């Protein structure tokens, strides 16, 4: 195989379902979460894939991560995109979604309305804006401007102290400057699985901006499964169900959905795929070039929403399921057409083999040093992949200003979440594993710039509402109305603080 052909294969990792006109959404009374059935062929694939992944259990994480970064054929793409287009908030997610936008023409409506679920830190939003603006000639209107694009987003609220730090993306550079565009639900957690998320309420209060629904909905959520990687699919199933139910309520007729999923071995994933095939005209499963080849991540791209396929009873059944934080499945395998089941098995087998091939290849190269010809060939493939990405997706600078990002040092806390210095086998079932690796952890912490963990008073050059006077704590919340002990004549916050002498206090200013 030539270098060019090997590089080109990364852009063709896709499976397209061939829907039948006989496929219909399952009976609402057959939608549940506690069914007792499985597809033996898919369970066998799961066993085989987990056996392959278990070969990594004893790998030293830092060395293995460094090795797989080197062997990743798309490793040079981000650097080339940065040189060619210099986009804001460039991440792997930015590159993946930018490819999907081009491959499937997901933003073909003008004006465009988009909603982005589980979006933080905001790479999909900024990739979409770059795509819209890079597709306009200088004499054309700005498709990424306010007149032609309205967007909203959701994520776990980084300002809600009750959210789990491991699950919450703390990078708020985009969120802080566009807070009016973020919907965190009635309970302000931002949890799409919460009964208080209430997309219906959002649509009611934002009817002028939503304008009859959204043309594009994305859902990039995931759950940390490092402690039980063999059950990743089952662990994340309730989240996928919640994302899909929210998307079906948000979408306009003919709209598109992009949903991140993983393997398709469990009944919940199979049932969800069937529902999507029944309510969209096209369903593709894609592994973008920049998606790490050794993991199970894929994107389900659903085109042309058919809202008439769903009845009110369907919506009620799905909503009740999500309200209980449960996965979605049908009562029995007989609810699924045989031709659909065979296609799911084919799809699952295809992506399973891709992942297994990568894992075994990386293990071979890790245990046996690559010779010079192999290294040179791999480098050529990586350079070719980067060149193909830039050429195919026309990565270039855009003249218009991007969405505002809060300036400042990058959030080191986000990077800390991925600090694994012990193998899975060593961490599994041992709560004090970190004691053996205290020195490695200390070295990592020593590398964090002190400016990022300083507790000094915020700079006065930042936005004024980042520092609030001590008397203003009640002003930032909802009105309490009648509340025992709360005087209606309570002192109002001073707007000239801290220069006001009457408002001096030894307390430290509240940082919001």
Q: Are 101 and 149 in contact (CB under 8 A)?
A: no
Which residues are within 8 A (CB) of 364 and not within 5 positions of it... i.e. 6 or more apart? none
* CA–CA dist 419, 415 (Å, integer): 7
Can you tell me the distance from the alpha carbon of 123 to that of 130, in angstroms, rounded to the nearest whole number? 10
- The two counts, helices (H) then strands (E), for the chain are 16, 11
Residue 481 is assigned to a ligand binding site: no
Closest to 127 in 3D by CA, of 388, 398, 464, 312: 398
111 upstream amide cis, omega within 30 of 0: yes
Catalytic residue set = 260
**Rounded to a whole number, what is the distance in angstroms from the first to the last CA of the chain?**
57
Is residue 190 a known part of a binding site?
no
Q: What is the CA radius of gyration of the chain?
A: 25
Judged by DSSP in three states, 253 sits in strand
Three-state secondary-structure class, residue 153? strand
DSSP code string of 191-235: -TTSTT--HHHHHHHTHHHHTTSEEEEEE------TT-GGGHHHH
- Report whether 149 belongs to an annotated binding site: yes
Backbone angles phi, psi at 304, to 5 degrees: 65, 80
Q: Report in angstroms the alpha-carbon separations of 251 from 14, 183, 212, 246, 254.
A: 24, 16, 8, 9, 8
Separation CA 174–CA 129 (nearest Å): 13
| DSSP helix/strand/coil, 251 | strand
Rounded to an integer, what distance in angstroms lies between the CA atom of residue 360 and that of residue 70?
15
Q: How many other C-beta atoms can be found within 10 angstroms of the C-beta atom of residue 81?
A: 22
Query: Could you tell me the strand order of the sheet in which 112-117 lies?
Result: 14-16, 280-286, 298-305, 251-261, 214-219, 112-117, 149-153
Give the 3-state secondary structure of residue 302: strand
Q: Which helix (H) or strand (E) holds 360?
A: helix 338-367
Question: Which candidate, 386, 414, 114, places its Cα nearest to that of 247?
Answer: 114
Helix axes 232-250, 312-323, angle to 10 degrees: 140
- Whether residue 498 has a cis bond before it, omega within 30° of 0: yes
Facing residues of 511 across strands? 467
C-beta atoms surrounding 463 within 10 Å: 11
Q: Enumerate the known binding-site residues.
A: 122, 149, 220
Known binding site for S-adenosyl-L-methionine: residues? 122, 149, 220
């Amino acid at each position: 195989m030539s270098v060019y052909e090997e590089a080109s294969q990364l852009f063709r990792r896709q499976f397209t379902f061939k829907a039948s006109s006989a496929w219909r959404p399952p009976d609402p009374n057959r939608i549940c979460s506690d069914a007792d059935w499985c597809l033996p062929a898919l369970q066998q694939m799961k066993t085989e894939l987990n056996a392959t992944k278990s070969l990594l259990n004893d790998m030293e994480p830092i060395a293995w991560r460094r090795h797989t970064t080197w062997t990743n054929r798309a490793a040079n793409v981000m650097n080339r995109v940065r040189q060619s287009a210099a986009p804001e908030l460039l991440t792997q997610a930015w590159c993946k979604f930018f490819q999907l936008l081009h491959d499937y023409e997901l933003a073909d409506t003008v004006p465009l309305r988009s909603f982005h679920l589980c979006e933080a830190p905001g790479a999909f939003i900024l990739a979409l804006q770059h795509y819209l603006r890079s597709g306009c000639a200088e004499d054309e209107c700005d498709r990424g401007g306010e007149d032609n694009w309205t967007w909203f987003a959701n994520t776990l609220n980084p300002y809600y102290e009750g959210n789990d730090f491991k699950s919450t993306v703390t990078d708020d550079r985009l969120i802080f400057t566009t807070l009016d565009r973020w919907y965190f639900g009635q309970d302000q957690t931002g949890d799409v699985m919460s009964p208080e998320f209430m997309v219906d309420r959002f649509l009611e209060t934002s009817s002028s901006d939503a304008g009859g629904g959204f043309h594009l909905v994305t859902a990039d959520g995931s759950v940390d499964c490092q402690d039980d990687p063999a059950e990743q699919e089952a662990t994340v199933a309730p989240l996928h169900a919640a994302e899909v139910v929210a998307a079906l309520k948000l979408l306009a007729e003919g709209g598109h959905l992009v949903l991140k999923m993983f393997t398709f071995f469990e009944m919940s994933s199979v049932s969800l795929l069937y529902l999507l095939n029944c309510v969209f005209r096209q369903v593709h499963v894609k592994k973008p070039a920049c998606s790490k080849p050794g993991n199970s991540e894929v994107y389900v791209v659903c085109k042309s929403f058919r809202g008439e396929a769903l009845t009110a009873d369907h919506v009620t059944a799905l909503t009740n399921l999500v309200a209980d934080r449960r996965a979605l499945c049908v009562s029995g395998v007989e609810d699924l057409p045989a031709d659909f089941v065979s296609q799911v098995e084919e799809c699952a087998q295809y992506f399973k083999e891709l992942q297994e091939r990568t894992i075994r290849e990386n293990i071979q190269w890790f245990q046996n040093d690559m010779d010079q010809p192999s290294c040179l060939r791999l480098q050529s493939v990586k350079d070719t992949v980067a060149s193909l990405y830039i050429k195919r997706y026309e990565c270039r600078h855009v003249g218009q200003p991007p969405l505002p990002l809060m300036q400042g040092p990058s959030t080191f806390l986000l990077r800390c979440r991925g600090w694994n210095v012990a193998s899975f086998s060593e961490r599994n079932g041992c709560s004090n594993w970190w004691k053996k690796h205290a020195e490695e952890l200390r070295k990592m912490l020593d590398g964090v710039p002190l400016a990022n963990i300083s507790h000094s008073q915020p700079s006065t050059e930042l936005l004024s509402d980042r520092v609030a006077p001590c008397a203003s704590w009640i002003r930032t919340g909802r009105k309490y109305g009648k509340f025992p002990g709360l005087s209606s004549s309570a002192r109002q916050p001073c707007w000239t603080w801290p220069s006001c002498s009457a408002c001096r206090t030894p307390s430290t200013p509240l940082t919001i």
